[in-house]
Amino acid sequence: MRKNEHIAQSNGYKIIAVDDEEGIVDSLSIFLKRSGYEFTGVTNPLEAIEKVKNEHFDLMILDFIMDPIHGDKVVEEIRKFNKELYILLLTGHKDLAPPLETIRKLEIQGYCEKSDKFDQLLLLIESGIKSIEQMNEIKRINIELADTYEKLEKAYLDSIQTLRYTVEAKDPYTRGHSDRVSEYSVLIGKKLGLSEEELKILRVGGLFHDIGKIGIPDSILLKDSRLTDDEYSEIKNHPSIGAHILCNAEVFKDIIPIVKHHHERFDGKGYPGKLQREDIPYFARIAAIADAFDAMTSKRTYRNSLPIDVVREEIEKNLGTQFDPELGKLFLDIIDNEYEKIEGIKEKYPAE
């Protein structure tokens, strides 16, 4: 260290300077260390790219005209893996600076001409640090909000899960049914190439699609013979009851269409809304097939489970009436060519 070089107490911010003139790097080192910054100087732009890739820096001071590559190429490479580094471009002459369009495209936050005095550069650095501080604060707040949201989401899920278990405790048929409907729905979603977020909606929607049965009298829910018309009308209320239970929680807004409309029919003869064709929410059309398939392949108090060939025939017969024809054909393809996946779900969640 030079005798006249005074290093101020570090403010915690790391700056890397890249310039193929060693004298410039040395001058910046003295100036910035005196200002309290942790400083790294590099004269080879290719080495600088590797350093940024492997170390954290808050801000980069970058010369434009360098060998073997210019500053804009350095930024281009860095932006491939780091979008957040704050970059200030130094130019020997204003007319040698890259076009404004290039500066914007590469997200270079500012530039200034080289000078024996670093006053203007220091102002730009201080401005950059303030921006970095704001960005870090926003990140911190977002992390806290995400953490709070996740905790809130878990609390809601736990509460509704308790309700689901309450339904399953009094309705033996429902036990395992919701899990299988959830898994069949996801199976269809994967076949459609849906995103992870969309698959999550199908998964959670399937788990809670029958939550409204909590509001159906036990005398109807547990009846071991066929329902009367009045009793059937009563049980047809469970989608609306379920949607009402979930409606006040923002976390469930995406699954409410599944809960409310999984008993709609493609021909408009379903319930509760008598919606038809594309008016039925897309995920509800998926859940409707999964729900009907599990109902047919599960043992009920008044009948045994139906053989798979009969179930297949029923689905095919009701394409365009009960089921969305395109989604129905896709599920038939799963039955014909990927039935081992269905069997795996049945083994994981066996009917009682």
**What pLDDT digit, counting tens, does each position of 333-347 carry?**
999 998 888 888 888
Average pLDDT over residues 5-10: 61
User: Has residue 352 got a pLDDT over 70?
Assistant: no
The average pLDDT across 260-264 equals: 92
Does 82 or 149 have the greater pLDDT score? 82
pLDDT at 95: 63
Query: What's the whole-number mean pLDDT along residues 45-70?
Result: 92
pLDDT band at 4 (very low <50, low <70, confident <90, very high): very low
Q: Give CATH superfamily name and number for 14-140.
A: Response regulator (3.40.50.2300)
The C-alpha atoms of residue 60 and residue 62 are separated, in whole angstroms, by 6
Between 301 and 316, the more confident residue is 316
Residue with more model confidence, 173 or 281? 281
**Residue 220: half-sphere exposure toward Cβ, Cα within 13 Å:** 17
HEC profile for 152-173? HHHHHHHHHHHHHHHHHHHCCC
Q: What is the pLDDT of residue 303?
A: 67
Indicate the DSSP class of residue 19. -
Catalytic residue among 213, 236, 299, 329, which?
A: 213
**182 token code pair:** 């959830």
Q: List the one residue out of 147, 220, 207, 150 whose CA is nearest residue 180.
A: 207
Q: Is 151 a residue of the active site?
A: no
pLDDT at residue 2, rounded to an integer: 45
Report pTM.
0.58
The bridge status of strand 86-91 relative to strand 59-63 is parallel
Amino acid occupying residue 203: R
b/e code 144-174 from CB counts within 10 Å (16+ = b):
eeeeeeeeeeeebbeebeebbeebbeebbbb
Residue 256 confidence (pLDDT) above 50? yes
Do residues 235 and 220 touch, judged by C-beta distance below 8 A?
yes
**CATH superfamily ID and name for 171-348:** Hypothetical protein af1432 (1.10.3210.10)
CA atoms within 13 A on the CB side of 37: 24
The C-alpha angle 224, 239, 300, rounded to 5 degrees, equals 25
pLDDT surpassing 90 at residue 57: yes
Least confident stretch, 177-181, 246-250, 318-322, 337-341 = 246-250
Same fold, 14-140 and 171-348: no
* Burial degree of 199 (CB within 10 A; 0-12, 13-18, 19+): middle
Domain spans of the chain?
A: 14-140, 171-348
How many CB atoms are located within 10 Å of the residue 115 CB? 10
